[in-house]
Structure 1
Amino acid sequence: MNTIESQNNNALDGPIISTFLKYLLPSTVGMLAMSSASIVDGIFIGNFVGVEALAAVNLIIPLLSVLFGVGLMLAIGGSVRAGKFLGQKKQNAASAIFSKTLIATIVYAIAIIAIGLLLEPILFRLLGAGEILAPLMSEYYRVVLPFFVAQLSTIVLYFFIRLDGFPTLASTALVIGAVLNIALDYLFIAVFDWGLSGAAWATGLSQLLPLLTLLAYFFKKKRKLHFSIKQNNWSEIFHAAYNGLSEFINEISAGIIALIFNLLLISRAGIEGVAAITVLNYLLMLGFMVYFSIADTAQVMISQNFGARNVARTKQLLATTLLVTSVVSVIAILILLCFNESLITMFLDDQGTEKTATMAIEFVYYMWPIFIFAGVNMAISGYLTAIHLPFQSGVVSICRSLIFPATLLITLFMLFDDNRFVIALPIGECLTFLIALAYFIRHKPERAIAEDHVKNG
């Protein structure tokens, strides 16, 4: 029997603002902790290993983004589907999709580790690695890739544990991992002088402790989700993953755009150009992680209220999401414009990096308008995912993260003989906003819930 007695669920009946913040604040802390680990990696690599090492790591990012994207699609798609089941009080069905998502992710991670190591030379050539950067890339890649099992398992548990009403536990695990990563970066890079392999070991080992922390969830008496290895109807995992299509598109597109960026910058500005955009990417990552936290919080709460067909509450949650997103955008723009030089110099040592720093500051002034539209686009895409419209959400995602940026980057690169071609990204976000707004008007909560009622009874 799928329907069992209801338990308290603040996502369905708690105060809007306080419940939203209950989910958002731990998520933001967790996401910033996770991104700060990458940023601290960049600071240690840039200051203790060098600009070439920083560029080498950036060349690997497209590949890791693609591999990570599949795991993220499974995690978010499965948690959204489980959220709808919880809203319908079908806890056994929610537990089943939780179990299948975790099992499928572990199997996938093991497969990509084997394939990724086997095809390393071919992959590096496709990423544009030359004689200087290829050995550095290999030094990092061979260490960090085997830890993907722990990383992807952590991501799946993170999303489902948040969904089940334990956001503090989920975010605490990410914070623990970030703190450990910083400590190991200092030990392995600054003290032991292990170079890029030290950064890779710090990143990999710091994935293990969050996973162990999240396992405490299975000892929670009030949890609604239960794991069982015995499952049937495995085709459901593909339907669930489809719900996470937009997140997969975001990740794989980010990898493709990073690859295009790297190839264009290598041809025009050399290794210093790649290093400069790497520094800017670290800064953009902070803002985008906050946006991601907001969209994720909206998904957790809206998916359950969508399942419960609560129109008024869904509209209130959506308004709260857009308001918080707008406030974050204003703050991000002010910080980027007022403190860009100080932020950039954190990643670079004093020897031979003036050109890199100058280019990074130049990129900031071309790229800051990205924050005007990116947050709203991500919020609307997350809303469409939460109400089980993965195609529409995917269209928004692929427009903002691949179609517009790729087309505009190549076009503007041919039009301009300097670095102004990077304005392709904010222009792409602006064009995407028009599409996202059209989808939002077409699928407002009252209409979306009414249509779901007609479709599913």
Structure 2
Amino acid sequence: MNNREEMLNNAKVSSVLFKLALPATIAMFVNALYNIVDTIFIGRGIGTLGIGGVAIQLPIQMIILSCSLLIGVGAGSMISRNLGKKDMEIVNYIAGNSFLCIGIIGIIFSTLGYIFTTPIIKLFGATENILPYARDYTKIIFIGSLYFPFCVSTNNLIRAEGNSKDAMISMIIGFVLNIILDYIFIFIFYMGIKGAALATILSKLGSFLYIINYLHSNKTSITIKTKYFIPQKNIIKEILSVGFSAFAVQISGSIVAILLNNSLAYYGGDLSIAIYGIIHKVTLFLFMPLNGMIQGMQPIVGYNYGCNNMSRVKEAIKLTIIFSTLITIIGVLIGELFPSQIIGLFNRDKALLSKGISALRIVIVMTPVIGIQMTCLGLSQALGKALTSFILSILRQVILFIPFVLFLPNIHNLGVLGIWFSFPIADLLSILITIPISKRQLKKMSFKNKTL
């Protein structure tokens, strides 16, 4: 048993969770901060139409991310459980097959996306004024999608080994490079929206190179050999089934973003799209620490579930819910108390400020309850419970949110205000449904433990 396995199996759960979640949380904070700073540079250097152009590209980014997590979350869950079973040969085949799948995905997105950029962004809600910005930005982003999915997917494998530190470092490299290159390309070379996109793909390239170096180092327990890349039907099938919930979360987010962009264009025009672009970045900042906590929890849950140690699984779940709720409460308090300062970071346009402040306050008000739902979803993924994961992943964004977005704007002529109110209503209802589903799952785990 190596040091990481000893930690997952025997160390105090709170200590292990903190050790694994802290780097993951820092990495998520860094990623969220990158999104915010990137948008600030675009807002200050290009304007609200530039922010709108990036907002139109969000569904594309989510689709790419969804496919990356489909492979990464599925393979990561399998790796942590098989590490618990001490089956290293299977671990290597899982990693090799995940690399094969994600490589194919990257090639498909990069090629087809670059060719069909204009019709795609028109479908996703680009107005006549925003179209040039969205097209210039997205075309370059599609070039980077050749290797970006690999970074996302493989980071999940690194965390599944219990090595959150290197996953964090790869993301920090991307963040630092992006900030430096953003400033150079936008404010020194005056490359506009193209400069922002170029900074993004070059920064992701830095992360990619770090991960490649990691996989060839002695830090990883994964062995890379040609034979492990040979497709294994059963492995690929399980990767896809377990990872499908993470895929569903992101793909539903993409569907929601497309719907929102089109609805906001209809009810509020370019300004509302820009406001949503800002709010999306702010809510990412609230949610990313939650993702960090859950990513820290999943190796503990997966490994100890593989070892049939259910008491450690339950303790990890309890602590994750407590910490994630506290994190979101702090974030929401900051957002509710200082909305003008937050919106003003991106652009000081008076219309943007007056309408953006109320929108931000409404959208984030129920965010603290999301920690529970995301923890329950992360639990299902770690245990390989594909059906439960899928249900929880589409509950909030698809089953609940979409109907409200479609109907609330038409009630008493609420318009854009109805769209903003759809967020907290869906958040509240989702947790009321999630809790009984998760309680049933925990009871089944307890029964399994007693019968062993």
TM (normalized to structure 1)?
A: 0.94
Q: State the Cα distance separating 1:194 from its structure 2 match.
A: 0.5
CA shift, 1:6, in A, is 6.1
Are 2:185 and 1:192 aligned? no
CA contact (8 A) 1:136 1:196 kept: yes
Task: Give the Cα separation in 2 of the matches to 1:143 and 1:294.
Answer: 32
Q: Which residue of 1 aligns with 2:284?
A: 285
* Partner of residue 56, structure 2: 59
Residue 71 of structure 1 deviates from its aligned partner by 1.1
Instruction: Supply the distance in 2 between the matched residues of 1:223 and 1:63 (Cα, whole angstroms).
Output: 32
State whether structure 2 residue 402 is matched by structure 1 residue 406. yes
Asked if the contact 2:41/2:183 (under 8 Å) is kept, the reply is yes
- Counterpart for residue 373 of structure 1: 369
Equivalence for 2:351: 355
1:6 & 1:270 partners in 2: Cα distance? 57
Establish whether residue 436 from structure 1 lines up as the match of residue 434 from structure 2: yes
Partner of 1:335: 334
Could you tell me which amino acid in structure 2 is paired with residue 368 of structure 1? I
Q: How much has 1:240 moved relative to structure 2?
A: 1.1
CA distance in 1, matches of 2:83, 2:200: 35
How many Å separate the matches in 1 of 2:391 and 2:200?
33
Q: Distance in 1 between matches of 2:174 and 2:46?
A: 23
Count of aligned positions: 447
Q: CA deviation at 1:425?
A: 1.4
1:97 partnered with 2:94: yes
Q: Is the 8 A contact 2:8 2:304 kept in 1?
A: yes
Aligned equivalent of 1:178, options 166, 175, 178: 175
Q: Would you say the 8 A contact 2:130–2:270 is kept in 1?
A: no
Quote the residue 1:308 is aligned against: 307
Does the CA contact (< 8 Å) of 1:396 and 1:435 recur in 2? Answer: no
- On the 8 A contact 1:37/1:181 being kept in 2, the answer is yes
Instruction: Return closer, same or farther for 1:73/1:232 CA change in 2, 3 Å cut-off.
Output: closer
Question: Structure 2 CA distance, aligned partners of 1:157 and 1:94?
Answer: 13
User: C-alpha separation between the residues in 2 aligned to 1:220 and 1:450?
Assistant: 42
SS of aligned partner of 1:295: helix
Structure 1 residues 378 and 8, CA, compared in 2 at 3 Å: closer, same or farther?
Answer: closer
Unaligned runs of 5+ in 1: none
Q: Name the CA distance, whole Å, in 1 between partners of 2:385 and 2:313.
A: 15
- 1:376 partner letter: I
Change (3 A) 1:226 1:453: farther
SS where residue 129 of structure 1 aligns? coil
Change (3 A) 1:50 1:232: closer
> Which string of whole-angstrom CA distances, capped at 9 and with x for unpartnered residues, describes residues 82-122 of structure 1?
11111111111112101110121011110121111222232
Distance in 2, matches of 1:8 and 1:133, equals 49
Match for residue 105 of structure 2 among 105, 108, 118: 108
What is the identity, as a one-letter code, of the residue corresponding to 1:427? I
Aligned residue among 200, 222, 225 for 1:225: 222
Asked if the contact 1:105/1:153 (under 8 Å) is kept, the reply is yes
User: Which residue in 2 is equivalent to 1:391?
Assistant: 387
CA distance in 1, matches of 2:206, 2:156: 17
Distance, in Å, in 1 between the alignment partners of 2:448 and 2:177 is 48
Structure 2 Cα separation of the partners of residues 47 and 267 of structure 1: 26
After TM superposition, give the deviation of residue 451 of structure 1 in Å.
4.6
What code does the residue aligned with 1:281 have? Answer: H
Q: Which runs of 5+ in 2 are unaligned?
A: none
Does residue 39 in structure 1 map to residue 36 in structure 2? yes
Residue 215 of structure 2 aligns with an amino acid whose one-letter code is F
Residue identity (%): 23
Deviation digits for residues 323-350 of structure 1 (CA, Å, limit 9, x no counterpart): 11121121112111112111110000x4
- 1 CA distance for matches of 2:417 and 2:386? 34
The CA deviation at 1:443 is 0.7
The CA distance in 1 between the partners of 2:423 and 2:93, in whole Å, is: 40
Q: Which residue of 1 aligns with 2:263?
A: 264
What is the identity, as a one-letter code, of the residue corresponding to 1:55?
G
Tell me which moved more, 35-44 or 201-210.
35-44
1:300 Cα offset (Å): 1.8
Amino acid at match of 2:74: G
- Does structure 1 conserve the Cα–Cα contact (< 8 Å) formed by 2:302 and 2:382? yes
State how far apart, in whole Å, the 1-side matches of 2:334 and 2:127 are: 36
Deviation at 1:452, TM superposition (A): 9.2
Gap change, CA 1:372 and 1:222, over 3 Å in 2? closer
Provide the C-alpha distance between the structure 2 equivalents of 1:64 and 1:209, rounded to a whole number of angstroms. 18
Structure 2 counterpart of 1:24, from 17, 21, 24: 21
d(CA) in 1 for partners of 2:232, 2:393? 29
Q: TM-score, normalised by structure 2?
A: 0.95
- Note if contact 1:366-1:420 (Cα within 8 Å) is conserved in structure 2: no
| Residue type at the aligned position of 1:426 | P
2: CA distance between counterparts of 1:276 and 1:395?
30
Say which of 422, 425, 430 aligns to 2:423.
Answer: 425
Q: 1:145 aligns with which of 142, 152, 158?
A: 142
Deviations 1:333-375 (A, max 9, x none): 2111112111110000x4xx21111111011221222313211
**Cα distance, 1:228 vs structure 2:** 2.5
- The answer as to whether partners of 1:154 and 1:214 remain within 8 angstroms in 2 is yes
